[in-house]
Amino acid sequence: MTQLDSNQPSTSLYWNYVYHAVEPADTEKFLEFHDDALKRLYSHSKMPISTFYEEFMHGRVGLKGDMWETLDEHRYEFLNFKVTFRLCKWLIFQVSVDQKFKGLVKVQKRVSDRSDVTSLST
């Protein structure tokens, strides 16, 4: 067993129980939960921002009051901005898809340029 392997449990414990320790907060003061499971998880603790925007877009959570005012003045009271596994997965997916898309656009441009040259020469 290498030194790195022996540190993985402690790293995992640190990540889960120190870095992502539950931060108490009265989120129901600012959020309306439309999903009972979400309410059980986050009604008395801060919600990760990545979870918030995904659940908001799916309609499982809403904001009480004016959105701009709540997010501008009170976001630190009910959201946490720590890096999560879900956020890392999203970022990696976005970068890889973006690179594939850029490659596809280059190929399409080359093909269209060649077809334009071919059509002009006939």
What pLDDT, in 10s, does the model give residues 76-85? Answer: 999 998 888 8
Structural domains counted in the chain: 1
**Pairing of β 61-63 and β 31-33:** antiparallel
Alpha carbon distance 108, 67 (integer Å) = 41
For residue 105, the SS3 value is helix
Residue-level pLDDT at 73: 94
What is the span of the domain harbouring residue 62? 3-121
73 CB-side CA count, 13 A: 7
| Whole-number pLDDT of residue 2 | 37
Task: Say if pTM beats, i.e. exceeds, 0.75.
Answer: no
pLDDT band at 1 (very low <50, low <70, confident <90, very high): very low
Amino acid in position 14: Y
| Residue 102: predicted pLDDT | 66
Inform me whether the pLDDT recorded for 75 exceeds 90: yes
Q: What pLDDT is recorded for position 3?
A: 41
Mean pLDDT of the chain: 80
Instruction: Provide the 8-state DSSP code for 46.
Output: P
Residue 116, pLDDT > 60, answer no
Give the residue among 2, 39, 43, 1 at the shortest CA–CA distance from 24.
43
